Chain A
């Protein structure tokens, strides 16, 4: 059995998570990355998605993250992000509404050849909303 590593999720408002675990995976901009104890030092830009971790006893939990950075060093995974919430705190209703809104906006922009930035923004907010919903449903 491999050793443990500690994980900290740090946001401007508070330290969201500070615990030890046996494995972590988080989304980077180029796809998901899994980290076990003894991982090489790494700095990564975080995408949108689920940060999942398994505690030593085998229980799994996840946290929603969107944007930010991960730094792996000396068996410590530091996630520094400004948008993040644990699965238990996700407001599903809000996420569903946000997804709807983003979809409507996307349709509107795509039919009327809206600005590229607007489309990007709507897409980003859609993926955030969908991920939130997914994580919340998975952990409840």
Chain B
């Protein structure tokens, strides 16, 4: 049975933890808002780019399939960009992502592709630790700039690196594993094919949509524009995946810290109850002693 002194110490330490978790919750809230704003700010751009890709590719019709990046590479290997967090204390954020990825990898093993045929590019220390400790081949661990300072330029660089790797022909495809932000309480780990591109994934409408736009002037010409458009499209996809992952991370962290603060509150209340009861008991006991003592003296 804990003594009254020990109880006092515990109440205090629970209070300290509560303060810390509450501070972390608030930090996560502000960061969450910042990343969310950025994700919203990038939406018009990605919509425009996606719209252009769609219109141009339906204009080009079947020629699209001849463009580079539309055909799987010759190699046997696969490349995966995994986006995790640098820091922990963010609930099940990373775990959920790893579980989803393991399942996907298992599915590939079932298709006869061994574990060794997958190379990784990783964002976030947690992911790098996870992969290296399990013996996966981490080709690149992207730490510069740190995750939280990603901007479009650096995301674009990563996108270009992935495209370069794909263009060597060593990889037959490239996937991105990240967490999609659906709402404040819903973040869904996702594995999406990144390369090669397919006309379907660009949302090409057959025939119908094509004719309406055919009369547009092309400067210089549709194929050339398309060729320089595709890299931008891929870059913005990486940027968006990063922003969504970061938003999910902070939403998840805020949620986890809120739970921790609430739990600390409950615990503190409970401990206080026990403490007060104990204290009362002691006082009663002491009173009885005094009363008993004075009775005896009479």
Contacts and interface: CB of A to CB of B under 8 A. Distances in A.
Interface of A: 10-15, 28-30, 33, 40-45, 67-69, 71, 73, 78, 80, 82
Contacts, number: 78
B111 interface: no
A71 B52 contact: yes
A33 B44 contact: no
A13 B42 contact: yes
A138 B260 CA distance: 57
Interface residues of B, number: 31
B48 A10 contact: yes
12 contacts: A12-B46, A40-B217, A41-B213, A42-B218, A43-B52, A43-B55, A43-B56, A43-B219, A43-B225, A69-B49, A69-B52, A80-B48
Chain A at the B interface: SS class:
strand
A21 B121 CA distance: 46
A48 B192 CA distance: 34
Given A13-B152, A28-B219, A42-B216, 6 more contacts: A12-B236, A15-B44, A44-B218, A45-B220, A45-B225, A78-B48
A12 B220 contact: no
Nearest to B236: A12
Nearest to B38: A13
B23 to A, nearest CB: 29
Interface centre among A12, A29, A33, A43 (most CB of B within 10 A): A12
Contacts of B228: 45, 67
A69 B239 contact: no
A69 B229 contact: yes
Interface in B207-232: 213, 215-220, 222, 224-225, 228-229, 232
Contacts of B236: 12
B151 interface: yes
B41 interface: yes
Nearest to A44: B219
A72 to B, nearest CB: 8
B235 interface: yes
Nearest to A45: B225
A29 B220 contact: yes
Nearest to B213: A41
B220 A43 contact: no
Contacts of B41: 12-15
Contacts of B52: 43, 69, 71, 80
The 5 closest A-B pairs by CB, nearest first: A44-B219, A41-B216, A12-B152, A42-B217, A80-B48
Contacts of A82: 45, 152-153, 156, 232, 235
B27 to A, nearest CB: 23
Contacts of A12: 41-42, 45-46, 152, 236, 239
Given A13-B41, A82-B156, A30 B220 contact: yes
Nearest to B44: A10
Contacts of B153: 82
Contacts of B229: 69
Contacts of A15: 41, 44
A73 B222 CA distance: 16
Contacts of A41: 213, 215-217
A30 B220 CA distance: 7
